Chains A and B, each alone.
Chain A
Amino acid sequence: MQRVGVFVCWCGSNIAATVDVEKVAEVLAKEPGVVFSTNYQYMCSQAGQEMIQESIRKYNLTGVVICSCSPRMHENTFRKTCEKAGLNPYMVEIANIREQCSWIHKDKDTATEKAIILGRAAIAKVHLNAPLTAGTSPVKKRALVIGGGIAGIQTALDIADAGFDVDIVEKEPTIGGKMTQIDKTFPTLDCAACILTPKMVDAAQNERIHIYSYSEVSSVRGFVGNFKVTIKKKARFVDETKCTGCGLCTEKCPQKKVPNLFNLGLDNRRAIYIPFAQAVPKVATIDADYCTMLKSGKCGVCSKVCTAGAIDYQQKDAFIEQEYGAIVVATGFNPIKLDKYDEFAYSQSPDVVTSLEFERLMNAAGPTGGTLLRPSDGQHPHTIVFVQCVGSRCDDSKGKPYCSKICCMYTAKHAMLCREKYPDTDVYVFYIDVRTPGKNFDEFYRRAVEEYGVHYVKGMVGKVVPENGKLKVQASDLIGNQQLHIDADMVVLAAAIEPDKSARPLATMLTASMDTNDFFTEAHPKLRPVESPTAGIFLSGACQGPKDIPETVAQASAAAAKVIGLLNKDHLICNPCTATPDEMMCNGCSSCEKVCPYGAITYIDKEFRGPNRTTLIRRVAQVNPAVCQGCGACTVACPSGAMDLKGFSNKQIMAEVDAICR
Chain B
Amino acid sequence: MIDTIKRISGVNPRKCMKCGKCTASCPAFDRMQFHPHQFVDMVENGRIDELMNSEGIDFCLSCFACVERCPRNVEPAKVIEAVRLAVIRQQGGAHLTPDEIPALLDDELPQQAITAAFRKYRK
Q: Determine if chain A interacts with chain B.
A: yes
Give residues in A with beta carbon < 8 Å to B.
343, 389, 393-395, 397-399, 432, 458-463, 474-476, 478, 481, 483
Closest to B24 in A: A462
Check B45 for interface membership: any CB of A closer than 8 A.
Answer: no
The answer on a CB contact under 8 Å between A395 and B25 is no
Q: In the complex, are the beta carbons of B73 and A481 less than 8 A apart?
A: no
The docked-state distance in angstroms from the alpha carbon of A476 to that of B26 is: 9
A462-B19 contact given A393-B71, A397-B73, CB 8 Å threshold: no
Interfacial residues of chain B within 35-58, with CB under 8 A of chain A in the complex: 35, 37
Q: Report yes or no: B23 in contact with A483, Cβ–Cβ below 8 A.
A: yes
B105 within 8 A of A: no
Interface residues on B, range: 20 to 34
> Which residues of B sit under 8 angstroms from A394, Cβ to Cβ?
71-72
10 interchain residue pairs of minimum CB distance: A462-B24, A462-B25, A460-B21, A476-B24, A459-B20, A476-B23, A476-B20, A432-B19, A394-B71, A395-B73
Q: Which residues of B contact A (CB under 8 A)?
A: 15, 17-26, 29-30, 35, 37, 65, 69-73
Name which residue of chain B comes closest to A397, CB basis: B73
Is B72's CB under 8 angstroms from A460's CB?
no
Contact A476 B71 (CB under 8 A): no
Q: A389-B71, A393-B17, A461-B21 are in contact. Are A481 and B35 (CB under 8 A)?
A: yes
Given contacts A432-B20, A461-B21, A476-B35, 8 further A-B contacts (CB under 8 A): A343-B25, A395-B15, A397-B73, A460-B21, A461-B24, A463-B25, A463-B69, A476-B29
Contact (Cβ within 8 A) B37 A476: yes
Q: How far is the CA of A394 from the CA of B73 in the complex (A)?
A: 8
Q: Are A483 and B17 in contact (CB under 8 A)?
A: no
Closest CB of chain B to A124's CB: distance in Å? 45
What are some 21 contacts across the A-B interface (CB < 8 A)?
Answer: A343-B69, A393-B19, A394-B72, A459-B20, A459-B24, A460-B20, A460-B24, A461-B21, A462-B23, A462-B25, A462-B65, A462-B69, A463-B69, A474-B25, A476-B20, A476-B29, A476-B37, A478-B18, A478-B20, A483-B30, A483-B35
What residues of A have a CB within 8 angstroms of the CB of B22 in the complex? 462
Residues of B within 8 A of A475 (CB): 24
Compute how far the CA of A463 lies from the CA of B73 in the bound complex, rounded to whole angstroms.
17
Give bound CA distance, A474 to B21, whole Å. Answer: 10
Q: Could you tell me the distance between the alpha carbons of A474 and B29 in the complex, rounded to whole angstroms?
A: 11
CB pair B23 A478 closer than 8 Å: yes
Chain B residue numbers with a CB within 8 Å of A393 are 17, 19, 71-72
Contact partner of A395 among B19, B23, B72, CB < 8 A? B72
Q: Which of B15, B20, B37, B65 has the most CB of A within 10 A?
A: B20
Q: How far is the CB of A552 from chain B (nearest CB, A)?
A: 26
B23 to chain A: which residues have CB within 8 Å?
A: 459, 462, 476, 478, 483
- Residues in B with CB closer than 8 Å to A478 are 18, 20, 23, 37
| A463 (CB) vs chain B CBs: closest residue | B25
Task: List the A side residues contacting B72 at CB < 8 Å.
Answer: 393-395
- Distance, CA A398 to CA B69, complexed state (A): 9
Task: Kindly list chain A residues whose C-beta atoms are within 8 Å of the C-beta of B37.
Answer: 476, 478
Does the CB pair B26–A398 fall under 8 Å? no
A294 to chain B, nearest CB (A): 44
Shortest Cβ distance from B106 into chain A, in angstroms? 53
What is the bound-complex CA distance between A393 and B74, given in angstroms?
13
In the bound assembly, the distance between CA atoms of A326 and B15 in angstroms comes to 43
A465 to chain B minimum Cβ distance, whole angstroms, is 12
Report how far A631 CA is from B22 CA in the complex, Å: 52
Q: Once the chains bind, are B24 and A474 in contact (CB under 8 Å)?
A: yes
Residues of B within 8 A of A395 (CB): 15, 70-73
